[in-house]
Structure 1
Amino acid sequence: MSTFSGLNTAWTGMSAARRSLETAGQNIANVGVEGYTRQRVETASAAGVSTIGRLSGPSSAGHGVSVTGIARLADAQLDERARGTAAISAQTGAISAGLSTLESSLREPGSAGLSAALNDFWAGWQDVANQPGEPAPAAVVIARGTALAQQLGALHGEFTQQWDTQHQGLRAEVAEVNALAERVGTLNAQIRSATASGADSGAMLDQRTQLTARLAELTGATVRAQPDGTTDVLLSGTPLVAGTSARTLELAGGSRLQDAAAPQLRWSHRAADDAGSTLSLESGALGARLALLAPAEPDGTGGALAQASSTLDAIAVELATQVNAVQAAGVSTAGTPGGPFFSLDPARAAASLTVRARGAEDLAAATPGQGALDGSNAARLAQLGELAAGPDAIWAGLVVTTGTAVRHAAQSAVNTSLAHVAALEQQQAQAGVSLDEENIALLTHQHAYQGAARVLTAVDQMLDTLINRTGVVGR
């Protein structure tokens, strides 16, 4: 190694230290930026030139240091774990929120719940039994029946509104997924070009990581890296993003609570009759909404909102059927046969339940042949609330089922949220910026720069002595 090569060795050390200082400064400047992945300068020793033959010199120490690149300190496995836990956490959180809203609509236990309205209604019939033919207790039981019918209709309206809100949220999230997929495809093209030209693509990689994390949160998507720097985004094994091209989803199926068909996600590029056009999601916020919006099933395993609405219809039908049947078996104080107390449309039972009775003459309080002041038939009406399969029992079953589901969903949401937080902490421990570490790096690289500069000064002084002072003895 010649003396002049020492200048190059010192210069490479200064250059590497400067790049490292700039990178540490970049990390510190972005410490509060969401999604930023810290960077580190990668260096390698520049080996000395090897020579062979009779004129070869002694082994040299090397030619300094070379900067081989700037690495993003991200971990693919930690990123994948963060995406997976985000999908499950979003799913359980959305289900818990939906069920909690449903439970709050039931208003149980409390005086505003349907149980209290049913109890008041049956108690009104007991008053009619004690005072058959009297207008005051008759007016009370009719008013309580009307309030009960209105409360059933109001509950049905709340369930319908909640279903519509979930459906609107699903539609908005499908549009968001399509926009995110398009953006990921664009970033793939930009990253591939930057990688091929050797340009820095760190900021674009950070953006793509954030976008794919959001896609995973919405749909449970998985990511597959490609050798050219692009990533594919898969939904249930089918590419949503493949290289620079992105596919789109569309919402099909039922759009109302009353529709028998379930809302479905479809691939817009496939025909509706294609067996593979429908997309099934097992996790993510969209998967949760699809589960909440599913139609009711006879075995009670359908969507929570449709199942609750179906139960309200069953309560209305059972209430009208049982009360009208006992009414038909009795007579009024005037001896006329009892007519229907309730009427409804079977296609929309809870929403259409109304009271037909208008006064004491419409109430069949007596048993035929027992006299005008008999109230035994009204007493039988008062006992309908105790039936094992009556309206009260059906309502109690809905309240218990909903409460159990809410508790289970809330616990699942807490557990999955803790798992997601733990995954994010591990991800940030690897990719996040630590001010302490970066300050230490600044001091380290500053001293390295000063050391290399000192070497440069020493070599400069050696060359000055060699060039300007050698051979001047005796002059």
Structure 2
Amino acid sequence: MAGSFGSISTALSGLRYNQVLLDVAGNNISNADTDGYVRRRVVGSSVSSAAPALWSRYDGHGEGVSVGEVRRMVDPLLDARVRREHGMLSYLQTTSTVLSRVEEGIGEPGANGVHAAMLDFRNAWQDLATNPGGAAARQQVLGRAETLAQALRVQVSNIAGEEADQQVHLTSLVSEVNTAATDLAALNRSILVTEANGTDAGTLRDRRDQLALRLSELTGATTTVRPDGQFDVSVAGASLVSADVASTFAIDPAATYGGAVGAVTTLLTTTLPAYRAGLDAVAADLANAVNSQHALGFDANGNPGGTFFTFDPAVGAASLQVAITDPNLVAASSLGGTARNGDNADALSRVGTYSDAYQKLVNGFGTQVAAVGRQTANQAALTGSLDTAWEQQAGVNLDEETVTMLTAQRAYEAAARLLTTLDEVLDTLINRTGIVGR
């Protein structure tokens, strides 16, 4: 053996090593519920014997154990996939939430929706066609027309309100991206300096991983790891973080983003404007068809029909208004002078394709909402399975930590017992050798 004093060093290394095991296990247990915490594992390294001098012999078998490293239990490939799938999930969830809210505001099918108002408007013309001289029937036409125009204006207002909300949301997201990028660049620098000084930077790395994940959720960012361990982050092919330098993020209309930012920009530039344009087209068809047919008829005074709806193409459906306030000006008859019939009212009940156009618009939007909902559910399942895999890899298992703690405790006790035994051996050697028989 290496000698009694060498054995003391070996036993002492066991005490120190198992103390680190206990400390790390305790830290893991303490952070079991901490978001983003990656469990640590102590990697031991056997201490080899020193090389003997020339012409000398050494019959030892090692000189104990040392802490090789305290390793964070991460899988870089799994981390990259988790970030990618979380970015896609964030995109779909943001889109689904907004579209569902818009669909709720559309209110179709429903008694108070635009489609119901269109049916009531056509039915009012039918009632007037059967009773062209009835004042109540004329007033009903105007009332139903105002209800329809208002229903379209409300829908357009809801879309405009959602667009305004999403503009504010986008501004907030851009600000969050810039804050996260600045913090991540600072952590790159701190980790490099901390580890160069020989200090563990595990906590800093945990925080950096969380920021990288958040940037993926916000923008669909891609993170790459440098040989020195620093993170580089790019968004839509443009550098956002390079080592300890963070660029200022701003929306580029030509870029295609992922994550929440990508969802909001798509909603603002494509989805919501397309639906609003569809409503404008429906309102234009309604106004043009009714006005054209109304001009062919005659009112209660025998005069040609005037403009029924006012509509400004530059403004769209928000400008739709009923132009007539006097029921006697409703041109229900196809005959002028003193003769009266309800033929023009009957024609007005069937004129235009606005009902079909609106139904097609709403059905298309509903199909889009349902499709995004299904995609979101599928993506959530995929992301959830990856989160489970990450938790198994990097999360704290209390049962496993308890076993580690008990193992370290017993090993510590054994090393302490070895020290006690060596102390007794040395006491015998130093204090008792040569005194027998005195």
TM-score by length of 2: 0.97
CA offset at residue 344 of structure 1? 1.6
2:34 matched to which residue of 1? 33
Letter in 2 for 1:305: L
Partners of 2:337 and 2:286 in 1: how far apart?
26
- SS of residue matched to 2:71: strand
State which of 370, 374, 386 in structure 1 corresponds to 2:341. 374
CA contact (8 A) 2:297 2:305 kept: yes
1:401 matched to which residue of 2? 364
Partners of 1:473 and 1:374 in 2: how far apart?
142
Richer in helix (by share) = 2
Letter in 2 for 1:148: L
Alignment of structure 1 residues 328-367 onto 2, 5 Å: 328-367=295-334
Alignment of structure 1 residues 63-74 onto 2, 5 Å: 63-74=63-74
CA offset at residue 370 of structure 1? 9.2
Partners of 1:214 and 1:93 in 2: how far apart?
15
Cα distance per residue 1:403-447 (max 9 Å; x no partner): 100110000000111111111111111110010000000000001
- 1:391 paired with 2:392, answer no
2:286 matched to which residue of 1? 319
- 1:97 paired with 2:109, answer no
CA contact (8 A) 2:222 2:234 kept: yes
- SS of residue matched to 1:425: helix
2:171 matched to which residue of 1? 171
CA offset at residue 74 of structure 1? 1.2
CA contact (8 A) 2:39 2:73 kept: yes
Partners of 2:400 and 2:234 in 1: how far apart?
36
- SS of residue matched to 2:41: strand
1:450 matched to which residue of 2? 413
- SS of residue matched to 1:347: coil
CA contact (8 A) 1:134 1:360 kept: no
CA offset at residue 464 of structure 1? 0.9
- 1:309 paired with 2:276, answer yes
2:255 matched to which residue of 1? 280
Partners of 2:254 and 2:424 in 1: how far apart?
74
- SS of residue matched to 1:317: helix
CA offset at residue 368 of structure 1? 3.0
2:437 matched to which residue of 1? 474
CA contact (8 A) 2:142 2:327 kept: no
- SS of residue matched to 1:70: strand
CA contact (8 A) 2:300 2:329 kept: no
CA contact (8 A) 1:230 1:243 kept: yes
Partners of 2:113 and 2:299 in 1: how far apart?
31
CA contact (8 A) 2:95 2:263 kept: yes
Partners of 1:441 and 1:360 in 2: how far apart?
88
Cα distance per residue 1:178-230 (max 9 Å; x no partner): 00000001111110101111111011000111111000001011111122231
Partners of 1:147 and 1:360 in 2: how far apart?
15
Cα distance per residue 1:253-286 (max 9 Å; x no partner): xxxxxxxxxxxx13xxxxxxxxxxx562342111
- 1:290 paired with 2:265, answer yes
Query: Do the aligned partners of residues 355 and 50 (structure 1) sit closer, same or farther apart at CA in structure 2, a change above 3 Å counting?
Result: same
Query: Do the aligned partners of residues 380 and 344 (structure 1) sit closer, same or farther apart at CA in structure 2, a change above 3 Å counting?
Result: same
CA contact (8 A) 1:330 1:337 kept: yes
- SS of residue matched to 1:206: helix
CA offset at residue 358 of structure 1? 2.4
- SS of residue matched to 1:413: helix
Partners of 1:39 and 1:98 in 2: how far apart?
40
Cα distance per residue 1:145-165 (max 9 Å; x no partner): 111111111111111001111
CA contact (8 A) 1:102 1:305 kept: no
Q: Percent identity?
A: 38
- SS of residue matched to 2:266: helix
Partners of 1:473 and 1:153 in 2: how far apart?
113
Partners of 1:218 and 1:351 in 2: how far apart?
33
CA offset at residue 369 of structure 1? 6.0
CA contact (8 A) 2:37 2:395 kept: yes
Partners of 2:5 and 2:308 in 1: how far apart?
110
1:257 matched to which residue of 2? none
Cα distance per residue 1:42-96 (max 9 Å; x no partner): 2111111222543x12421111111122111111111111101100000111111
Partners of 1:88 and 1:284 in 2: how far apart?
6
- 1:129 paired with 2:129, answer yes
Partners of 1:458 and 1:177 in 2: how far apart?
61
CA offset at residue 6 of structure 1? 0.7
CA offset at residue 372 of structure 1? 2.0
TM-score by length of 1: 0.90
Query: What's the Cα RMSD here?
Result: 1.4
**Count of matched residue pairs:** 437
1:439 matched to which residue of 2? 402
Q: After the TM superposition, list the runs of 4 or more consecutive aligned residues in structure 1 that deviate by more than 4 angstroms.
A: none
